[in-house]
Amino acid sequence: MSASTLVGSIPQEDLVDSPVISVRDLVHRYDDRAALNGVSFDVRPAELFGLLGPNGSGKTTLFRILSTLMVPVAGQAIILGHDAAKEPSQLRREIGVVFQAQSVDLKLTASENLQHQGHLYGLHGSALRARIKEILERVRLADRARDRAETFSGGMQRRLELAKGLLHGPRVLLLDEPTTGLDPGARRDLWQYLSILRDEEHVTVLVTTHLMEEAERCDRLAILNQGKLVALGTPTELKREIGGDVIVLEAKDPEALAMRIRARFGADVRVVGNQVRIEKDQAHRFVTNVVEAFPGEIDAVSIAKPSLEDVFIKRTGHRFWTEGARTSERTDNPRARKH
């Protein structure tokens, strides 16, 4: 049974009105550290939804809870009407999961990998053979059905992982850092295919990522930092909250420069790392005035349209990648080091 057939059996009003995934006040801890601290959001039907965050943000812990591999300390995750903690068996039949770690058996052919996957879901005989043919055509691997997976490129192996996750026709697909290790072309192909799943098969897709350019491709985002939800919305909505362009000034003494710019121009100035950051309309005019006011004190100037990185800085006060975020993965879940 195809994903489109499954979706076709759902009442139209349910597709429009009810969230497919509902996360409410999720809390999880490792010893005395909070990996998730009251996270809540909804994912809509046929939506490509992203969980964006640096290492240590809690996104992999959240992914494990949604995929029924972990029970939260508190809160609730409801997917397709099933409580992920209380009804894991029922939920696993209706979701597809693609983990960051490879699960493809490289010594088996593409068809053999899918045959074993199908048996796990009770598929057999001609129905399974037809479904394998259909799904391999969908991920553009039909001509390699009898080839061992070890002969595939990284992008092809990832598409085979997707085929395994989609074999049983799930209405929800969960992917954890799916483009890890892929070259830029394979990354682009994978995201194009996720868009096709959303648009043509009406599959709801939730994907974790730490890459800004991938997050831009999502319909909506939940941005996590240190276990908390710091932003939720479409990429355009989130960037719109930045007032004007983003000016970045580099100086030998950024704190002193920021203080003087505030005093002289009354601007809202923020020091992030060793940079002075200002959000301003008509940025080019403002930069000219600042450089003229403080000759010789500014080493470099850049002006750019707002990015998701700027949204993260505005909400958290620090850059997306910090030493704390990079090292915190060593103190996170001992079974899932990356978050």
Chain-centre distance of CA 60, in angstroms? 10
| pLDDT > 90? residue 324 | no
Q: How confident is the model at residue 328 (pLDDT cuts 50, 70, 90)?
A: very low
Q: Looking at residue 16, what is its pLDDT?
A: 54
Strands 48-52 and 204-209: parallel
Q: Looking at residue 14, what is its pLDDT?
A: 47
CB 325, CB 57: distance < 8 Å: yes
Find the helix or strand (DSSP H, E) in which 275 lies: strand 275-280
Q: Looking at residue 322, what is its pLDDT?
A: 58
Sheet strand arrangement including 21-30: 33-43, 21-30, 74-79, 82-83
- Rounded distance, CA 227 to CA 65, Å? 14
Average pLDDT for 162-187: 91
Q: How confident is the model at residue 330 (pLDDT cuts 50, 70, 90)?
A: very low
State the CB neighbour count (10 A cutoff) for residue 225: 22
Q: How confident is the model at residue 4 (pLDDT cuts 50, 70, 90)?
A: very low
- Rounded distance, CA 4 to CA 15, Å? 13
Average pLDDT for 129-157: 94
Nearest Cα neighbor of 50 from 157, 205, 236 is 205
Mean of pLDDT over the chain:
89
> Tens digits of per-residue pLDDT, 78-130?
999 999 999 999 999 999 999 988 899 999 999 999 999 999 999 999 999 99
Q: Looking at residue 9, what is its pLDDT?
A: 38
